[in-house]
Structure formats: C-alpha cells, structure tokens
Structure 1
C-alpha cells in the first residue's frame, strides 16, 4: 500500500486535464446558449461529475459560477460600450434586462448605469 501512495503524484498527473482556453473560447463564442455542466463536460470527454470536480480544483469555481463570471464580464464590457440591458442580456444568455441587472448588482455590486457612466 505504501508503494501505491508513493506513486500517487504519477497517477494524479496522468489525469485528463482541462484546457481552460478551449473552454473559454467555446463559452464566449456562444454565451447566449444553454451551457449545462454536461455540455461543458462533453467537450473534454468527462462525466459531468468529473468535470465539475476538475474545474473546481483548477479554478476554485463550479461550472455554473465559471459561466456566470464569463457572462457578467462580457455583459459589463457591452454595457460600458453603450449597449442596453436588454441587448446585453440577450447576447450573454440572461432572460431579461432586469435579471442581468440583478445579477450584476448581486455578484459585482454595480449597476448597469454605473458601468455605462464609467466610460464617459
């Protein structure tokens, strides 16, 4: 058993990794689409449970948190360039401008108006 424990780093390093750049590119290209964990996991030929665990291990975020962060960052950039809440929400996968505004305030502590005003 001690031999197995000593071989543990080799076993861990042989696990299939996650290419975060590939994940970011796929998510960013289709933020408006539905991205359940199973869909993200399929990109790496992993089960949803394995994908969840690996992403959490690599980033400290669950798949849902990771996706939400990308969506809010993208929406923030759009709003700063003058997009309306409704347009930004549709492009990043929120059902309405009010749900995007709520998410921005909850997760970022900032409203859409403040984001728009930050570029003036």
Structure 2
C-alpha cells in the first residue's frame, strides 16, 4: 500500500466535515476507551488521582486529574469527590499521556457541574447499586475532562497534544482505528492533509515520538491484549503487519522486556483488570 492514493472511503471514515457547523467530526477517544477497561473507586484524598472541588468564595470549582495521587490546597471537608482511577493498564496511551497535574475549570462547564452534583447525590445517599453508579458516572466525568483538554489544546506534548491538533488527530485516529493497515508516513501525511516533511516534523514535535514509533507501540500494545486472550503469536504478528513471528517477537521483547509467548493466557503487559 506504500505510495498508493488515499482511498476516498477510508478518508471518509477518518475525516468527516460538518459543512453546516464548519467543523471536523472526528471521534478522538472512543477507540481508546473501548480498548482499555477504565474503572474508578472512591479513595481517601492521599490516594486519589481524581479530585473535584465545588466552586466557592475561597476556591474555584475544578477537577484535578493525574497519573499519581494529586495534591490540592482545598480542605478535605470541602472536597466534592476523591477517587482513584484505574486506566485498564499502564500501557494505556491515555494513562501514559497524563501530565503530573491536569486541571479542568468548572466555572464555564455547566454540564460537568451537573454531573458532579449527581455523583455527590449518589455518594451521600448510598442507595442500592450506588458504588456501580458512581463508577460509571466517574467514567463519564473522565471523558468530559479529556475531551475538554483536547478541545482546549492545553497540553503541550504527548498523545493529548497530538489529538488536540486538527491535522495530526486525523492520522492518530486512523492509526487507532486501523492498526492492521500497512501505514506509511506518506499515507498518514495524506490523512493529516500535510506534506510528508511537515507531517513528520509536526508529529514528533507534538506527540514526542515519530509516527512509526507511535504506530509500532500501539500495535504491540494491542498485540499484548490479544495474546493474553490465548491467540497464537503467528496470527497476532500477521494481524499487526509484522512480516514474521521472529521480527514480531524481537519488537515485542524490546518494548515489554519479555517474549510474547509468555503472555498467552496471562494478563496483558501493564494491565491490572485486563482488556476489553
């Protein structure tokens, strides 16, 4: 497929334009959310990686998210929500892309304030099924936070920065949605609507690695999930574009530090609750 024109039906899949709104319609998150089983549980403030504070006279309402427990100056009695998020494994690109501290301002986000109010009601009521309801609502909260960060373009480097770029996001979503395709930089540059040189330069600048490196890491992450479900190494290698099981095994060992056969019928690399 190297050097072939970008097929219109595939272009339409990854890049849709809403003429009425004048905006690109690209789902930047669904594939990532589907591939990794996110979960959340209420946690003490010192263990919480997600903290929400209500708006008040002394403190602005905000949601703070991080890969590790986050710190806040807000008194614990005033905390609206403190939870620990499990990203479905340390190999989740969203988890790897999290900055030390991500802050979402609630002052202009009525929808998220209403969602937090509903979570608070469930926490206080402790009715039947409250724990499950809270977990689901926190997942919705995470989507809203990530969506807001992507739309605001507030992250400088990493996956979220790449997804914030209206050009790069097309190529990243294409990689996520069709990892089995034999992508070349030329293909991905066409999807992004950029020249090859500009695409490679901008991708490395915003995402922090080359397109080929990101594609390879994504494929191997998915491969680890498939192997954990008991699929054969040869089949998985072929699915994700490797010419031989030997080449796949070498790449897999470089990324994860163990051979792919060790993962069959075991837990995916970096996973805590398995993959969806």
- Normalised to the residue count of structure 2, the TM-score between the two structures is 0.35
What's the counterpart of residue 104 of structure 2? none
Kindly indicate which of the two structures has a greater share of residues assigned to helix. Answer: 1
What's the counterpart of residue 31 of structure 1? 179
What's the counterpart of residue 49 of structure 1? 197
What's the counterpart of residue 5 of structure 2? none
CA contact (8 A) 1:32 1:91 kept: yes
For structure 2, list consecutive stretches of 5 or more residues without a partner in the other structure: 1-164, 268-276
For residues 94 and 42 of structure 1, the distance between their equivalents in structure 2, rounded to whole angstroms, comes to 23
What's the counterpart of residue 77 of structure 1? 225
What is the Cα deviation at residue 30 of structure 1?
2.8
- Say if 1:83 and 1:117 are closer, same or farther in 2 by CA, change over 3 A: closer
Kindly indicate which of the two structures has a greater share of residues assigned to strand. Answer: 2
What's the counterpart of residue 98 of structure 1? 246
What is the Cα deviation at residue 115 of structure 1?
1.7
For structure 1, list consecutive stretches of 5 or more residues without a partner in the other structure: 1-15
Name the SS of the counterpart of 2:264 in structure 1: helix
Name the SS of the counterpart of 2:235 in structure 1: helix
What is the Cα deviation at residue 58 of structure 1?
1.2
Number of paired residues?
Answer: 103
Please provide the CA RMSD for this pair: 1.8
What's the counterpart of residue 86 of structure 1? 234
Question: How big is each residue's C-alpha offset from its partner over 1:40-76, in whole Å with a ceiling of 9 and x where there is no partner?
Answer: 0101110111111111111111011011111111111
